[in-house]
C-alpha cells in the first residue's frame, strides 16, 4: 500500500488544566499543544505533539517542536512528493533530523490515523492489544503531607485504585508516610523525575526510607544519564525501580538492560518517538522479563487514545497513570475518556480512535498554518 502526503496543517493550541500539577521540575497550570493534521491520498489523520511548555522533562518543549515541525520535519515529509510505503517508511524519511522524538511522534500519529482509517482498522488491533480496557491511575503533585493526603482522598473517592505521587528532596518521606498511614492498601508509586542524586547521602537516606512504605515502584529517581546510580539503587532496594526519562530509544534500553539499571520501564510513546517505537520497546522488555508501566504526558484526548492502545498490550504488568479526561481538561479536545469502575475503555474505532471536537478545537486554537506538497 502506497500513500502520498498532500498537505500538513500545524495548529497551536492553549488549554488550561483542570488542576495544576507540581513536580520536581516545576508547576504545570496550562497546556500548550501542537496538533498536526495530515492530508494524504488515502484520507486525513490527526496527531498530537506532547511536548510540555518548558524543556524540564526532556529537551523538547512546545515552542521548539512547533518550530522544528514547520522548518524541517514537515518540509521533509512533503518534499519531492514521493510515494511512501506506510507510516513507518515516512518515519525513516525523517531520520536525517536527529532527536526531536515528540515532534516526529506527532507526525507518525497523524499518518497512522489516516492509514488505519483507510484500512478500517483500530490502532489497538494493529499493535496487537489484548485488553479492551485499562486500569486508570491518578497522579498527585508534590505538597505538604496534609495536601497530598487530601488530593489522594479525592482521587480514591473518584474511583481510582492506584495513585502515583510526585516527589522531590524535602517533599518525599513525610508526605508518603502520611499517605500510607491513611491508605494502607492503596496501590501507590512515586515519581521523582530525576530530582535526586546518587552521590548525596541525604538523597540515599530518603530513598531508603521510601523503600519501607510498600510502594509499587519508585520512578526515575536520578538524572536520565545516571545509569550506574540507578543500577546500584536497583540492586539495593526491594521496591522496583522504574526508568522513564532514561529510556528514549531501543539503544538506551539495551544499555539499561546490560547494566541491570532498573526493574521496569515507564512507556510513553511520545518520548520514544511514536507508537511503533513504543511497541518495539514493549516487545524487548517483555522478552527480557522487565516490568512495564504506561505513562501519560498531560495529553489531550488524542494522545490519550494512543496511550490507551499501547497500554492494552500484554506486557504492561505494573500500574500506570493514565486517567480520564475530566482530571485534565473541561472540556477535553475530543469526546471524553470516561472512568468506569476504575477502568478506561481502549478505543476500537478505525484510526487512533479519537478526533477533535470542532468547537473546542476552534476556541483553543492560537494559530494555524497549512503546508502543501510542491
Residue 255: domain span: 125-345
In a domain, 51, yes or no: yes
The whole-number pLDDT of residue 83 equals 80
Residue 304, number of CB atoms within 10 A of its CB: 32
Indicate whether 130 and 225 sit together in one domain: yes
Give me the phi and psi of 163, to 5 degrees please: -140, 140
Considering the candidates 104, 164, 248, 268, report the single residue annotated as catalytic.
268
**Contacts from 58-65 at CB under 8 Å and sequence distance 24+?**
58/102, 58/245, 58/248, 58/271, 59/99, 60/100, 60/101, 60/102, 60/103, 62/12, 62/32, 62/33, 62/34, 63/32, 65/34, 65/100, 65/102, 65/103, 65/106
Confidence of residue 80 (pLDDT cuts 50, 70, 90): low
Considering the candidates 104, 164, 166, 248, report the single residue annotated as catalytic.
166
Confidence of residue 144 (pLDDT cuts 50, 70, 90): very high
pLDDT digits (tens, 9 = 90+) for 239-266: 999 999 999 999 999 999 999 999 999 9
Indicate whether 151 and 277 sit together in one domain: yes
User: How long, in residues, is the chain?
Assistant: 374
Confidence of residue 79 (pLDDT cuts 50, 70, 90): confident
Does position 229 have pLDDT exceeding 70, yes or no? yes
Q: Nearest 5°: CA angle at 284, between 282 and 289?
A: 95
Indicate whether 242 and 137 sit together in one domain: yes
The whole-number pLDDT of residue 267 equals 97
Indicate the number of domains in the chain: 2
Q: Tell me if the bond preceding 111 is cis, omega within 30° of 0.
A: no
Indicate whether 320 and 235 sit together in one domain: yes
Confidence of residue 20 (pLDDT cuts 50, 70, 90): confident
Confidence of residue 26 (pLDDT cuts 50, 70, 90): low
Whether 320 contacts 293, CB under 8 Å: yes
Indicate whether 92 and 28 sit together in one domain: yes
Indicate whether 190 and 323 sit together in one domain: yes
Indicate whether 115 and 129 sit together in one domain: no
Give me the phi and psi of 2, to 5 degrees please: -105, 150
Confidence of residue 93 (pLDDT cuts 50, 70, 90): confident
Indicate whether 97 and 144 sit together in one domain: no
Q: Respond yes or no: is residue 104 known to be catalytic.
A: no
In a domain, 361, yes or no: yes
pLDDT above 70 as % of the chain: 97
Indicate whether 291 and 167 sit together in one domain: yes
The whole-number pLDDT of residue 88 equals 87
pLDDT digits (tens, 9 = 90+) for 312-355: 999 999 989 999 999 999 999 999 999 999 999 999 999 999 99
Please give the Cα distance from 61 to 63 (Å, whole number). Answer: 6
Range in 8-12, 228-232, 325-329, 359-363 the model is least confident about:
325-329
Q: For the chain, give the mean pLDDT.
A: 94
Q: Respond yes or no: is residue 98 known to be catalytic.
A: no
Does position 134 have pLDDT exceeding 90, yes or no? yes
In a domain, 352, yes or no: no
Whether 230 contacts 261, CB under 8 Å: yes
Indicate whether 213 and 340 sit together in one domain: yes
Q: Angle between the 101-119 and 301-311 helix axes, to the nearest 10 degrees? A: 80
The whole-number pLDDT of residue 153 equals 96
Q: What is the mean pLDDT of residues 46-69?
A: 95
Q: What is the mean pLDDT of residues 148-173?
A: 95
In a domain, 235, yes or no: yes
Positive or negative: CA dihedral 65, 71, 72, 75: positive
In a domain, 71, yes or no: yes
Whether 17 contacts 329, CB under 8 Å: yes
Q: Sheet containing 365-372: which strands, arranged edge to edge?
A: 43-49, 26-40, 5-23, 365-372
Q: What is the mean pLDDT of residues 171-177?
A: 97
Q: What is the mean pLDDT of residues 106-130?
A: 97
Residue 147, number of CB atoms within 10 A of its CB: 16
With a CB cutoff of 8 Å and minimum separation 6, the contacts of 327 are 18, 19, 138
Does position 81 have pLDDT exceeding 70, yes or no? no
Indicate whether 116 and 214 sit together in one domain: no
The whole-number pLDDT of residue 22 equals 61
Does position 8 have pLDDT exceeding 80, yes or no? yes
With a CB cutoff of 8 Å and minimum separation 6, the contacts of 86 are 1, 3, 111, 115
The whole-number pLDDT of residue 3 equals 84
In a domain, 351, yes or no: no
Does position 37 have pLDDT exceeding 90, yes or no? yes
Indicate whether 172 and 210 sit together in one domain: yes
The whole-number pLDDT of residue 253 equals 98
Amino acid at each position: 500500500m502506497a500513500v502520498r502526503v498532500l498537505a500538513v496543517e500545524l495548529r497551536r493550541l492553549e488549554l488550561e488544566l483542570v488542576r495544576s500539577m507540581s513536580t520536581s521540575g516545576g508547576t504545570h497550570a496550562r497546556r500548550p499543544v501542537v496538533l498536526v493534521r495530515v492530508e494524504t491520498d488515502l484520507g486525513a489523520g490527526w496527531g498530537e505533539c506532547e511536548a510540555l511548555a518548558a524543556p524540564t522533562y526532556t529537551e523538547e518543549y512546545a515552542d521548539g517542536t512547533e518550530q522544528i515541525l514547520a522548518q524541517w520535519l514537515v518540509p521533509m515529509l512533503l518534499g519531492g512528493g514521493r510515494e511512501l510505503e506506510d507510516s513507518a517508511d515516512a518515519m525513516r524519511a525523517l531520520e536525517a533530523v536527529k532527536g526531536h522524538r515528540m515532534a516526529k511522534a506527532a507526525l507518525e500519529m497523524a499518518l497512522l490515523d489516516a492509514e488505519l482509517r483507510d484500512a478500517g482498522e483500530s490502532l489497538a488491533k494493529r499493535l496487537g492489544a489484548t485488553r479492551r480496557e485499562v486500569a486508570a491511575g491518578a497522579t498527585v503533585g508534590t505538597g505538604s503531607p496534609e495536601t497530598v493526603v487530601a488530593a489522594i482522598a479525592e482521587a480514591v473517592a473518584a474511583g481510582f485504585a492506584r495513585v502515583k505521587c510526585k516527589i522531590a528532596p524535602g517533599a518525599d518521606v513525610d508526605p508518603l508516610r502520611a499517605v500510607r498511614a491513611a491508605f494502607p492498601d492503596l496501590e501507590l508509586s512515586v515519581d521523582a523525575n530525576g530530582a535526586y542524586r546518587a552521590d548525596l547521602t541525604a538523597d540515599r537516606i530518603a530513598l531508603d526510607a521510601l523503600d519501607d512504605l510498600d510502594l509499587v515502584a519508585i520512578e526515575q529517581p536520578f538524572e536520565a544519564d545516571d545509569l550506574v546510580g540507578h543500577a546500584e539503587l536497583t540492586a539495593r532496594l526491594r521496591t522496583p525501580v522504574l526508568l522513564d526519562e532514561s529510556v528514549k530509544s531501543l539503544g538506551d534500553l539495551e544499555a539499561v538492560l546490560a547494566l541491570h539499571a532498573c526493574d521496569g520501564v515507564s512507556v510513553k510513546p511520545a518520548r520514544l518517538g511514536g507508537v511503533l517505537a513504543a511497541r518495539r520497546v514493549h516487545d524487548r522488555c517483555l522478552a527480557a522479563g522487565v516490568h512495564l508501566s504506561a505513562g501519560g504526558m498531560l495529553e489531550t484526548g488524542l494522545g490519550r487514545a494512543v496511550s490507551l492502545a499501547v497500554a492494552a498490550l500484554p506486557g504492561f504488568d505494573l500500574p500506570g497513570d493514565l486517567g480520564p479526561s475530566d482530571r485534565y481538561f473541561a472540556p477535553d479536545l475530543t469526546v471524553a475518556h470516561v472512568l468506569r469502575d476504575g477502568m478506561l475503555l481502549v478505543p476500537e474505532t478505525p484510526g487512533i480512535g479519537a478526533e477533535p471536537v470542532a468547537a473546542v478545537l476552534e476556541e483553543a486554537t492560537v494559530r494555524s498554518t497549512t503546508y502543501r506538497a510542491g
